[in-house]
Amino acid sequence: MAACAYTVAFDGVEARLVEVQCAVTPGVPGFAVVGLPDKAVSEARERIRAALQALAIALPSKRITVNLSPADLPKEGSHFDLPIALGLLAALEVIPADEVAGIVALGELTLDGALVAVPGALPAAVTAAAEARSLLCPAACGPEAAWVEACRVLAATDLTQAIRHFTGAGPIEPARPGLAEAAPGGPDLRDVAGQERAKRALELAAAGRHHLLFTGPPGTGKSMLARRLPGLMPPLDPAEALETAMIRSLAGDLAEGRLTMSRPFQQPHHTASTAALTGGGRAARPGQISLAHNGVLFMDELPEFPRNVLDSLRQPLESGEITVSRANAHVTYPCRFLLVAAANPCKCGMAGDPARACSRAPVCAEDYLGRISGPLMDRFDLRLEVPPVTLEDMSLPPVGEDSATVAARVATARARQATRYAGHPSLRTNADVDGRLLDEIATPDAEGRALLLRAAERFGLSMRGYHRVLRVARTLADLSGEDSLRRPHVAEALSYRLVSHKTS
């Protein structure tokens, strides 16, 4: 006897359909799983055997062969337990084979037949919907998968409930999606004393998705400023929210199937490895930069990160995606994030502080910030020195605008960009624009162009730096509601670009 069930194998955020072919034939008793299974998939036969025995279902003394097709696609993860068990039950005629063939299943089995949550239910539901099939998954994954409205999601607590559903003894009701959380307010910009220029840089970064680097002595508010950036950015739109949730689903980080409209904020520690940051490990899971997709990646103490880890960011910052290469697979994850970094001016942190002195200045600052490679430094659109705040400033009542006021201006600027790039699906913000389109939308007036050319010649701006100045100037014009780029826009954009971090 033979029967088929269906499941998925994950290739980045894409879930590819896998046919689980089960055959029970005469021969030497055995249970073989073929089709490039990893260790977790190969061990499924023992979990399935124990789960069936717990349900008083005995396997026959025959040869059981399970083929996972396509055979050249690597199969990883414990979510193959449920589809293999269903295919085997269909081959044994315990449940109807045609009913099993009409669904996509995933889930891990315990030894007593219970179903355990597995990562990736949301992308699996997207694939099931594309194949016009239902999805059967563990009950804990139901609220997550049910966000795909085009897919009928059946969430079972154990294998017994799944069997009862297929035999008609107890149909499973379709799962309902989890709660959608509105973007929370978050910490307010007015909580930061002083630092008005740094707040202006945050507004620029949020409006155009420009990468930002803060340098300054310890305690000047660099981390406080960075944590307030997501609150200045517009909430995720439905497409972005689903895209972000699919990555978090693969990482197993979607608690109770809750989708959120708030921008991700990831803060890796400076001891993080390259695999932790960019993705990898045994199963090539998404890293911190992919978990920050559509949000903010904050790297505090930037020079303390290993050099190879920092340089691994260079290509993703330009392309918006990262390819994790392993011996048996190449997996691509999206990672369009806004990078915000903070650094002390030197190892001791005293450089630039008028109240204290660095004993090794300026060599200390040059050596410390020299750990950041020139190509990576060139990718920061905005570079800003954050000065110390005096105790007198701290004692004054809060001044300046709150986050809601700044966020409203950012939303207006983002709306202008959305209208401008409506015919370009791959472009969302000014930071994404390049080539001929950049020349069309960011050509300054005569005075602005003359200023930019003089600055480029005097300070040796690279072509990347030249174009990044134009992008920032375009965002400045959007914030002021102007269509044309004028000299003040170019001048302010240059002021964020020409800051030197070699000395205080």
Q: pLDDT tens digits, the chain, 504 residues: what are they? A: 799 999 999 988 899 999 999 999 999 999 999 999 999 999 999 999 999 999 999 899 999 999 999 998 989 999 999 999 999 999 999 999 999 999 999 999 999 999 999 999 999 999 999 999 999 999 999 999 999 999 999 999 999 999 999 999 999 999 999 877 766 667 899 888 888 999 999 999 999 999 999 998 888 889 999 999 999 999 999 889 989 999 999 988 887 777 888 899 999 999 999 999 998 877 778 999 999 999 999 999 999 999 999 999 999 999 999 988 766 668 899 999 999 999 998 887 766 666 566 666 667 777 888 899 989 999 999 999 998 877 666 666 666 789 999 999 999 999 999 999 998 988 999 999 988 999 999 999 999 999 999 999 998 888 889 999 999 999 999 999 999 999 999 999 999 987 654 433
Region at 216 (left for phi over 0; alpha for psi -120 to 50; beta for the rest): left
Quickly list DSSP for 174-188.
BP---PEEPPP--S-
| CATH number of the domain within which 139 lies | 3.30.230.10
Task: Tell me how far apart the alpha carbons of residues 378 and 368 are, in angstroms, rounded to a whole number.
Answer: 17
Q: Which of 428, 445, 460 is the last residue of a domain?
A: 428
Region at 11 (left for phi over 0; alpha for psi -120 to 50; beta for the rest): beta
Q: Is residue 386 part of a domain?
A: yes
Looking at the structure, tell me whether residues 158 and 303 fall in a common domain. no
Q: Which of 375, 398, 428 is the last residue of a domain?
A: 428
Q: Which helix (H) or strand (E) holds 340?
A: strand 338-343
Q: Is residue 153 part of a domain?
A: yes
Amino acid at 435: G
pLDDT score for 258: 79
Amino acid at 162: A
Amino acid at 453: L
Task: Tell me how far apart the alpha carbons of residues 206 and 51 are, in angstroms, rounded to a whole number.
Answer: 52
Looking at the structure, tell me whether residues 424 and 292 fall in a common domain. yes
Looking at the structure, tell me whether residues 146 and 193 fall in a common domain. no
Q: Is residue 501 part of a domain?
A: no
DSSP bridge partners of 10: 15
Looking at the structure, tell me whether residues 314 and 236 fall in a common domain. yes
**CA quadruple 280, 285, 287, 289: dihedral sign:** positive
Task: Tell me how far apart the alpha carbons of residues 206 and 224 are, in angstroms, rounded to a whole number.
Answer: 15
Question: Which of these, 247, 267, 236, lies nearest to 324 by C-alpha position?
Answer: 247
Looking at the structure, tell me whether residues 227 and 135 fall in a common domain. no
Q: Which helix (H) or strand (E) holds 329?
A: strand 329-334
Looking at the structure, tell me whether residues 145 and 205 fall in a common domain. no
Task: Tell me how far apart the alpha carbons of residues 132 and 143 are, in angstroms, rounded to a whole number.
Answer: 19
Give Cα separations from 464 to 239, 424, 431 (angstroms).
30, 22, 12
Q: Is residue 231 part of a domain?
A: yes
Looking at the structure, tell me whether residues 345 and 204 fall in a common domain. yes
Q: Is residue 497 part of a domain?
A: no
Looking at the structure, tell me whether residues 280 and 337 fall in a common domain. yes
pTM of the entire predicted model: 0.89
Burial class of 403 by CB neighbour count within 10 A (0 to 12, 13 to 18, 19+): buried
Looking at the structure, tell me whether residues 210 and 139 fall in a common domain. no
Q: Output the six-digit token pair for 243.
A: 């895209």
Region at 41 (left for phi over 0; alpha for psi -120 to 50; beta for the rest): alpha
- pLDDT one-digit tens code per residue, 33-87: 999 999 999 999 999 999 999 999 989 999 999 999 999 898 999 999 999 999 9
Looking at the structure, tell me whether residues 368 and 398 fall in a common domain. yes
**CA quadruple 413, 414, 415, 416: dihedral sign:** positive
Contact between 143 and 178 (Cβ < 8 Å): yes
Q: Which domain holds residue 193?
A: 189-428
Task: Tell me how far apart the alpha carbons of residues 54 and 10 are, in angstroms, rounded to a whole number.
Answer: 30
Q: Is residue 198 part of a domain?
A: yes
Number of domains present in the structure of the chain: 2
Name 496's Cβ contacts closer than 8 Å, sequence gap at least 6: 201, 204, 381, 382, 383, 384, 472
Looking at the structure, tell me whether residues 196 and 277 fall in a common domain. yes
Q: Which of 101, 132, 167 is the last residue of a domain?
A: 167
DSSP secondary-structure letter at 298? E
Contact between 157 and 137 (Cβ < 8 Å): no
Q: Which helix (H) or strand (E) holds 84?
A: helix 81-91
Q: Output the six-digit token pair for 488.
A: 């003040």
Contact between 212 and 340 (Cβ < 8 Å): yes
| CATH number of the domain within which 256 lies | 3.40.50.300
DSSP secondary-structure letter at 271? T
**Secondary structure of 206-233 in HEC code, one letter for each residue:** HHHCCCEEEECCCCCCHHHHHHCCHHHC
Looking at the structure, tell me whether residues 153 and 193 fall in a common domain. no
Q: Is residue 454 part of a domain?
A: no
Question: Which of these, 229, 226, 225, 257, lies nearest to 241 by C-alpha position?
Answer: 257
Q: Is residue 486 part of a domain?
A: no
DSSP bridge partners of 135: 104, 153
pLDDT score for 501: 47
**Cis amide prior to 362 (ω within 30 degrees):** yes
Q: Output the six-digit token pair for 419.
A: 């209208």
DSSP secondary-structure letter at 444? B
Residues making up the chain, counted from first to last: 504
Question: Which of these, 249, 14, 77, lies nearest to 146 by C-alpha position?
Answer: 249
